[in-house]
Structure 1
């Protein structure tokens, strides 16, 4: 079973706390780096979570800023937890960013998709068709299989005792596009109907008839966490790279856009009816 906490989220929290205590001390990053005997870039990398601070690094920082023993112990513990390995590190060649670690800790996942069934809801055959289509040239069967298995491992998130709530809004084109052939699509749509029966999963469809809407600029995900000190993160995946949005104003925009997309989407009941009709339109051939 995966750990009950995510090293990625702990690293993010530690980075935020170390930046806060430096700012409270009145020291600039340059002054802190000088007193610690570090480079300016090391301080920056630690405070933005791009580098994992070691417990020794955190102890040095606490000495510099005069952090009390209780707060010091908490920060050092965060550094230790941030260095633990999450389940996804077994697929480090597949999961190259920090998204899976953040997803692993989320209490609520709000997802708007325009092209594909979300990864957490994909069947094995559908995932294989998607992954093979996205590989350049002639796909390596072993590479495709490993990526599919990684996606299936990730999918178990929704069935854990502490599973997050998933609220997914899908463009109607997703349930019409015959990825993998009719039989694969029929089974995938049946899997969506089954997933929607879970108490922690909500699936709604944005119909073609909605016309122009708040999600036209592309898919995105907003991750929310159980602990208040961990603010929401918006995530946008693209060919040119992944973008993580953490500033309050920008995340608010994505939350607002998601709300407006929901306003334009079909109700849950209407959505499941449309998925069922789309499933029946795919033959068994």
Structure 2
């Protein structure tokens, strides 16, 4: 699937246009709900992407906004495209499809991880050990499916037009023995090998750096090929995933990542540290 063409990103474009057209028509969510004889919460959930949008919904809303025929045809087709199934839908029981869809559409991903190796760079044994520790009640089938999904996501890094990944990892993630010394040593070798790929930039923020720009916690910045698709910041938490899409928020995290990169070891020095920790485990 060409980057930028998945249902996830098309739905994002659609709801963004619906919101923009409503505001251009100088209508509130309550105004639209009254005209369409539905609840205001339905319109709100559509505009925030929390529910699906049918072609009928789009026709009704655009009629209320006085949109022209060309806009109507374009957005109705976008609504149809947004309802198509993607490969990650089959994993909907173990992972939120929205993030996986954004990742599949992204041209570039910048991520900071403080306690774990980034998912796109994890070995199978490391992933299994991590899932068992974080989700102790997960059965074997669920663990297998989560591992399978993570491996499917990693294919983005080895495609003909691969995802560009810039990962900054805290030294703590290198030294935490997830799965024991043997699993961790193998993970570190895999991590070092990944950092040598032309589409991957890997940096380690060492303990010697002291306090750094991302002490508040991990985050991911996803950037897309088309300028019409603004970047998204993803924050994962036990209480639910958070997506920041407003330009000031994206700019703040982009600046944080730039400062973090400047405070971290360069790729060669990072590789040397990863190798040193791996040898200590051996």
* TM-score for the superposition, normalised by structure 1: 0.94
Query: Which residue number corresponds to residue 201 of structure 2?
Result: 202
Distance change in 2, residues 1:245/1:3 (3 Å): closer
Q: Deviations over 1:106-157 (max 9, x none)?
A: 11100000010011110100100000111135x5222212211121112112
Q: Deviations over 1:195-230 (max 9, x none)?
A: 112221110000101101111111111111111111
Structure 1: stretches of 5+ with no match in the other structure? none
Determine the C-alpha separation between the residues in 2 that align with 1:2 and 1:128. 30
- Give the secondary-structure state (helix, strand or coil) at the position aligned to 1:167: strand
1:189 maps to 2:188: yes
Determine the C-alpha separation between the residues in 2 that align with 1:37 and 1:251. 36
Query: Which residue number corresponds to residue 222 of structure 1?
Result: 221
Contact 1:182 1:282 in 2 (8 A): yes
1:70 positional shift: 2.1
Distance change in 2, residues 1:144/1:2 (3 Å): farther
RMSD of aligned residue pairs (Cα, Å): 1.6
Determine the C-alpha separation between the residues in 2 that align with 1:159 and 1:99. 19
Query: Which residue number corresponds to residue 17 of structure 2?
Result: 17
Distance change in 2, residues 1:215/1:182 (3 Å): same
1:97 positional shift: 5.3
1:80 positional shift: 0.9
Determine the C-alpha separation between the residues in 2 that align with 1:152 and 1:2. 19
1:2 positional shift: 8.7
Query: Which residue number corresponds to residue 35 of structure 2?
Result: 35
Query: Which residue number corresponds to residue 173 of structure 1?
Result: 172
Contact 1:2 1:86 in 2 (8 A): no
Determine the C-alpha separation between the residues in 1 that align with 2:163 and 2:148. 21
Q: Which 4+ runs in 1 deviate beyond 4 A? A: 1-4
Structure 2: stretches of 5+ with no match in the other structure? none
Contact 1:2 1:87 in 2 (8 A): no
